[in-house]
Structure 1
Amino acid sequence: MTADPHPGTVDLADLADLPVPTRVVFGRGTLDRLGPLAAPLGGHALLVCGRTAMRRTGVLDRAVGSLTAAGLAVTVFDRIGANPRSDEIDEALALARASGCDLVVGLGGGSAIDAAKAVAVADGADTVRELIGRTLPRSAGALPVVAVPTTAGSGSEVTQGAIVTDVVRGFKSGIRGEAVAPRIALVDPDLTDRLPAAVALESGFDALAHAVEGAVARRATARSRAYSHRALALIRDHLPGLARGAATPEAREAMALAALLGGVNVTTVSTCLPHRLQQAMGAVPGNPLSHGRGLALLYPAWLRSARPFADEAFDAIGDTLGHRDAATAVDALLARTGLGTSLTEQGYTERDIDTFVAGLSGNLENDPHPEVDTELVRSLYRASLAR
């Protein structure tokens, strides 16, 4: 792994020897290096992005221009929604095959990058639905992926997972394994410049959740805790400013780094119960809630429930965030950013809990709770309905 940081607020030590198989290229203005970085990986790129933002901001044109200037052919698939669906992935996969693409570029937030990774690993499958919920072996064939995040939250640019909803089964889960990891993550903090405030804040909470869980997970290590507290300090200092409209270059760079470090922790120590709970919410149709917003709804109840089982780790998080404990710190942050609402306010009801529980999947043994059972899961959803 190598890193090419741009001079600025980022400490070079933050990017040294990251324990991920993805090469990280970090710095303002690095989008213009996309073509030269991608060229050694293939000759025809499928560029995967969302429906409007990348065109509206001109980022798509810049990305295509850099790729074509480096001699690559480019086919654009710009129909990924806020939460990637299996039918969208299959449509993109068919286009990649028909066009002879041998490389995938994911451009956008975590959804676009997850979609790109899913297309890449589904190249040998009839449908991506065959892979959802599976962990793929390292030897699984996959097209190379270059991930270019335009939000600061998911860390998907370095994670070994892609979250996709199977629209046939009504099941939202991950495709996981080292084969899913991008070859290159090109992290240009300037790309978050035109993010709507709501998207920046929701993405930022996703980064916070990764930092918290990287510190308290059963698989947490001294290294993951160090990354977590570095990310938490960056979020503490800059996320409230984004809520006030203070999206300075320094703030964008700091949040991009926090998201990246959170993604490294997702790769190395995984996540905890809130991520399983939020993914299961995707089984309820007609409520396209963002991942970060969903986590914000669930976090207060989980923090209070889990603290007795890792009190020192949670209290250390609170201390880094400037409060006596993690729950108090996160409550304050939710209030300052306007994310402190309930499941009920977001359109969910008690009737949805059965659907949530039925859709629960993934690793439940990494959480601080000594036992994760249906009773605990239901209690957390209920506590989040109206807090």
Structure 2
Amino acid sequence: MIIELHNPTVVVFGRGKLADLGERTKSLGGHALLVCGRSAMRRHGVLDAATAALEASGVAVTVYDGVSPDPLASEVDAAADLARRSGCDVVVGLGGGSAIDAAKATAIGLREGPIGPLVGTTLPAVPDAVPVVAVPTTAGSGAEVTKGAIITDDERNLKSGIRGDRLFPAIAVIDPDLLLTMPETVAVDAGFDALAHSVEGYVARRANPVTRLLAEQALEILGTRLPRAAAGDREPGLLDDIALAALLGGINVANASTCLPHRLQQAMGSVPGVRVSHGRGLAIVYPAWLRRAQPHAEVRFATIGRLLGHDDAVTAIGKMLETIGAGGTLRTNGFAHEHIDQLVGGITGNIGNDPIPDIDLALIREIYEDSH
């Protein structure tokens, strides 16, 4: 048996821990570029609270609030340019997975220059990486503890990952109280992303006994908590649990990586004018993928099904999608049949980590056709 685990991010988890953001960040730098989306963090007062925590500890703050739901390389370049001009030496990502990914990519851009050419590559480690502090306000992506950032290169119309140990945040401040601002649609989309990380961290070829233990705990949590969160329940104990499930999923992404559904979803970014969230895109392709993957890992998929309250994973996840109101089809989410060629051509990244052996373009097309 060979097990390799690597999680260098310091995790600070607990309600009220946003108040520690300043002291934690101060240990890394004196001037923070705070990266977030365009409106939600201001509207809910989270940006003000984070800024106040940083400034109370003597950390200067410059805000870049131009991140799209699918962050663009041009936005990351603008953030890095602002950080350079302002003299920032640490980056804080505040928001969902998109904001945190943009923050991680911004830190790379500060050292490497334009970020677009780096989309789809794995970067070597360097000693002088700009540190990142990740503060998630959704429970799903686990980006606060992963070594990748999903960015769309506007020039090539390519949505893919920038990966490598340099992408690990130095610190993750996870305050479940911040999930109080999470809309139900975001709870659904992010929650299914966390569920997918747990499933894939259990069946991936790189999975190991540790990632499977983490996946089992996350699946047990999400099986009962995700439907409640999707229905609008924001009870504090529930928020603690789903934040923990997202964290466990992120650790699994960093160590076991993901399977074919993540490659299928990322390719959706290759179709201009059609935008679907990461979690919803996963939900679209999951049933078709499960039907094909389950025969190749029957025992493990059966365990997943039982952890979610059913006899098999196909039934369990199908019921979950129905209960939380996620999924749909490519067609109902804006993709025309003629887009399937673009989707197939947009596949990037590792497809050899999936339980399905010898994946080819014919199978990928079949899953998209079945999901349309």
Q: Shorter chain as normaliser: what TM range?
A: over 0.9
For residue 323 of structure 1, what is the aligned residue in structure 2?
310
Deviation of residue 19 (structure 1)?
4.6
Larger CA deviation: 39-48 vs 282-291: 282-291
Deviation of residue 251 (structure 1)?
1.1
For residue 200 of structure 1, what is the aligned residue in structure 2?
187
Matched, 1:51 2:38: yes
Deviation of residue 94 (structure 1)?
0.5
5+ residue gaps, structure 2, are none
For residue 95 of structure 1, what is the aligned residue in structure 2?
82
Q: Quick check: 1:331–1:340 contact (8 Å CA) kept in 2?
A: no
Matches of 1:161 and 1:336, distance apart in 2: 31
Q: 1:1-387 counterparts in 2 under 5 A?
A: 19-139=6-126, 141-385=128-372
Aligned residues: 368
Q: CA-to-partner distance for each residue in 1:138-168, whole Å, 9 max, x for gaps?
A: 2264210000000000000000000000000
Q: Quick check: 2:197–2:249 contact (8 Å CA) kept in 1?
A: yes
Matches of 2:188 and 2:127, distance apart in 1: 36
- Which one-letter code corresponds to 1:229 in the other structure? E
State the SS of the aligned residue for 1:25: strand
Q: Quick check: 1:118–1:175 contact (8 Å CA) kept in 2?
A: yes
Matches of 1:327 and 1:380, distance apart in 2: 15
State the SS of the aligned residue for 2:169: coil
Q: Quick check: 2:197–2:252 contact (8 Å CA) kept in 1?
A: yes
Q: CA-to-partner distance for each residue in 1:39-85, whole Å, 9 max, x for gaps?
A: 01001000000000000010000100010110111000001010110
Q: Quick check: 2:69–2:277 contact (8 Å CA) kept in 1?
A: yes
Deviation of residue 125 (structure 1)?
2.2
Identity of aligned residues (%): 56
Deviation of residue 350 (structure 1)?
1.3
- For the aligned residues, what is the CA RMSD? 1.0
Matches of 2:308 and 2:128, distance apart in 1: 42
- Which one-letter code corresponds to 1:321 in the other structure? L
Q: Quick check: 2:280–2:327 contact (8 Å CA) kept in 1?
A: no
Deviation of residue 288 (structure 1)?
1.9
TM-score, structure 2 normalization: 0.98
State the SS of the aligned residue for 2:58: coil
- Which one-letter code corresponds to 1:273 in the other structure? L
- Which one-letter code corresponds to 1:379 in the other structure? E
5+ residue gaps, structure 1, are 1-17
Q: CA-to-partner distance for each residue in 1:180-206, whole Å, 9 max, x for gaps?
A: 100000000110102110101110000
Q: Quick check: 1:173–1:279 contact (8 Å CA) kept in 2?
A: yes
Matches of 2:340 and 2:182, distance apart in 1: 32
Matches of 2:238 and 2:15, distance apart in 1: 12
Larger CA deviation: 283-292 vs 295-304: 283-292
Larger CA deviation: 200-209 vs 237-246: 237-246
- Which one-letter code corresponds to 2:295 in the other structure? P
Matches of 1:347 and 1:243, distance apart in 2: 23
Matches of 1:59 and 1:193, distance apart in 2: 11
- Which one-letter code corresponds to 1:124 in the other structure? R
State the SS of the aligned residue for 1:112: helix
TM-score, structure 1 normalization: 0.94
Deviation of residue 122 (structure 1)?
1.5
Matches of 1:341 and 1:279, distance apart in 2: 17
Matches of 2:73 and 2:135, distance apart in 1: 21
